[in-house]
Structure 1
Amino acid sequence: MTTPAIAASGLRKTFGDHVVLDDVDLAVAEGTIFALLGPNGAGKTTAVRILSTLIRADGGSAAVAGHDVAAEPDGVRAAIGVTGQFSAVDNLLTGEENLLLMADLHHLGRADGRRKTAELLERFDLVDSARKLVSTYSGGMRRRLDLAMTLTGQPRVLFLDEPTAGLDPRSRHTMWRIIRDLVAGGVTVFLTTQYLEEADELADRVAVLDHGRVVAEGTPEELKRRVPGGHVRLQFADVADLGAAARALGEGTPDESTLTLQVPGDGGIGSLRALLDRLDGAAVEVGSLSVHTPDLDDVFFALTTRKDAVR
Structure 2
Amino acid sequence: MYLVKNSSRALCAALIPLAIVEAVLLVYALAGGQVTDPVGVPAPDQILVIYAGRMAMNAALLFAGHTVLRQWAISSRFAYGLMGGVMAAVSYGIAIRNHIQLAAPGDGTVVTIGLLPAIAGMIGGFLYGQFAGLSTVAPAATEASVAAASAKSPQAFDGPVRVRTSLAGVVIAALIPTVLATLLPYTLLPLLMNGFADKSTAHIFAAVIPAQTFMVMMVISVIPSSIFMLCVHHVARAMRRSNAWEYAVIGGVAALGCALLLAFAVPLLVFLVVPAAFSGAVMGALYRRFAGLEPMPLPEVVIATDPSALVGADHPSRHQHGVILNN
Q: Report the TM-score range of the alignment, normalised by the length of the smaller protein.
A: under 0.3
Q: Which has the higher helix share?
A: 2
Alignment TM-score, normalising by the size of structure 1 = 0.26
The higher radius of gyration belongs to 2
Q: Which has the higher strand share?
A: 1
Alignment TM-score, normalising by the size of structure 2 = 0.25
